[in-house]
Chain A
Amino acid sequence: MRNYRHSVSLDISKCKGCTTCLKRCPTEAIRIRDGHAQINSDRCIDCGECIKVCPHKAKRAVHDSLKDMKNYTVTVALPAPALYGQFNNLTNIDYIIDGLGKVGFDYVFEVACAAEMVSAYTRTYLGRDGVSKPVISSACPVITRMIGMNFPYLADHIMPLLPPVEIAAKLARDAAAREHPELSPTEIGVFLISPCPAKVSYVKNGFAGDKNNIDRVISVRDVYFALLDVMKNGSIPEGTSSAGMIGIGWATTGGESSAVFNDRYLAADGIENCIRVLEQIDNEDFTDLDFIELNACSGGCVGGAMTVANPYIAGARLGSLKRYLPVSPNRPADGDIPDYCFSDGEVHYDGGYTLSSDRNEAMRMMSEIESITAGLPGIDCGSCGAPTCEAFAEDIVKNETNADECTIIMRELFHECIERRRKELLSEKIGSSKPKNGAEVDSKK
């Protein structure tokens, strides 16, 4: 996919060109060139891993701002349930819903409520005939993009339902439009409060196709700080949150799949673990599973790069927040899946790793890569700017770098040069004082 709009950006002035992000990027999308990181946008899946690991805070998530509210007559906030886990000592979600009003939003529609609907529809979908199992959750946009890049065969295992954020956006927009028939759609601003940059890309690239109803994506972090200011007032708000246990559970790994009410599920998190699971399903392992929940972030959505709290602490807080809530108050009366909940966007194989569109040329390049790799030290140190020696060989063959960037080989050459020069100097010296022995020293190499 060309011209993909990413939501991870680099502040060159802060980047020291260290190899931390280079080594952690799951798609090998990063190279260090001219002393700083470069992201190959064809390969970046917006997982946010580089943002999380950067020791110099040079990587940032690009997202909209609360100030963008002024562009709309009416605004709706869609808080992801991960937001609720950010606050210490929060006893009631109503404080957050109330606070979002004080921050300036006219309406609030909780993503957790839509998540409960999606859970009900997932159960219906799993019961249908002819469904390719295991069904893979469509909620994490990093995973769906990963499947498009590397696991094209699994594309028809992805649940064809819109993720909860999109269903929340549709319902919230419709409700706002009903309340304000005088407004045109562009005057209503639907703001997703997202824990991760991947949701920003999902919206900016229109992955929901015509069904995209989200106008702006703002970060849980920005909203957290804005809420801290207004929530201090201490007034006890009315009961405005309607999320239940299942909806809030979606913020942490296992929440979505336990709501399937079926033991044949798997839930994994962390992008590397998810890739391993996908590799195995791709090889037709796990054939007795019905449902697979994969979250690119450790801990689930609470682990997103646009959050504040430690994901496991946030998860523990959510656990106590949801303990006394009803199980699933937003479950639809019947499980029939309405048409608007189906996704238009298909996942396509984009062949982003192909060396050349000409097979013969690709074969020639591959041979060259193999032979160059065999001569490299194989320690994958990253000093050359590529994550592995093999990736370095590929970059050489693609003329994107030079073989002399390998510091290990250069060090060996340097030592050889020094040694040769030392012997030359030695033989000159000995040769000048004891001419008869000069030839003997030389013959030793």
Chain B
Amino acid sequence: MDILPILTTLRRHKITAFLVILEIALTCAIICNAVFLISQRIERIHMPSGVAEHELIQIELASIGAKADEFARAQEDLAAIRQIPGVTQVASVAQVPFGSSSNNAGIRIDPNQPKSMIDASTYYGENLIETYGARLIAGRNLRADDYRSMDAVMEGVRSGDTKLFPATAIITQSMAKRLWPDQDALGKSIYIGKIPLQVVGILENLVRPSIEDDSTANYSAVIPIKLAQGQYVIRTAPGDRERVLKIALEKLKQNNPHRIVVQKRTWDEIRGNFFQNDRSMTGLLIGVCVALLLVTALGIVGLGSFWVAQRRRMIGVRRALGATRHDILHYFQTENFLLATIGIALGMVLAYGINLFLMTKYELPRLPATYFPIGAIALWIIGQLAVLGPAMRASMVPPVVATRSV
């Protein structure tokens, strides 16, 4: 196909051609960035947690009256839950991964460091690692003699008696790598304030309850402190969750009716809630992409029809001079391909510019080059589909048009 005659014709329709190119460029630029944003959100939604995702239930209770002898009462609750058929593990916890409410602490590897190195989430509670199903990849699990009770720790805070604090901790792999990039973290100590905790085990992963920065999402430490806060996590087979939750609530109510159920849900719901905003943003971005492509396609159809109508005589003459229908069809398809290509080239530059803007304003990463072809292919396809109708109509123009109205 000859490109030169097409270019000559386009030169006579500078404004219209320019508008098509501009529209394609803008669409291409926005789509490249939108697809990148979508992929980032989807990746975030699938963030690994390190826990037995489909086996967990959370129940949170709050007592109405004054609290008395909480620890013994919590033991009764745990015993009652453990008896439910199907329950494999249960723990009294202070926070759940992706649960939003969290305890965090500044971590040092030397008590004399002027600033803490990282901020990590601190998990407390007996039997927590087994219940959450976090995988220990090095070292040992926490033992009964590692644990201190929360009351003792609080007493230690007030009196300054360090013997009341726990002395060990288990941390995640990513936290260990951040603290000691080239060394084995096992046996070393982390410090919360001046309190040393020896790292006795490394977890493959355990995500934080609330995430400020995705790159530190897995900085968690499990510290052996016994709790009685009325928040329980139960582990059971996925199919048993509904049943176990119901029975557990009944048993807990029997144990102490003078309290309110604040939270009862499966961990899948917790995860769903946590990423709700990302999911709706993904939906919105997909919607905008579709709408953009649709508007662009309709624009091309509209302008294509106009061009075909305007060039009826020219087409007739060409047909009379021996051009086949195929040639005419090809002519319009090539024309669209040319315009799309110029638009896409311009769109790439624009996409890069938009990305720079987003990087400075919204702390987004750089747009990887692999996203550029996505916009290009999308627009080439849309362009060809959109021009097909008008081009077909053009190819139907009979040669006799050339002789009429002269």
Tell whether A pairs with B.
no
Interface residues of B (CB under 8 A from A): none
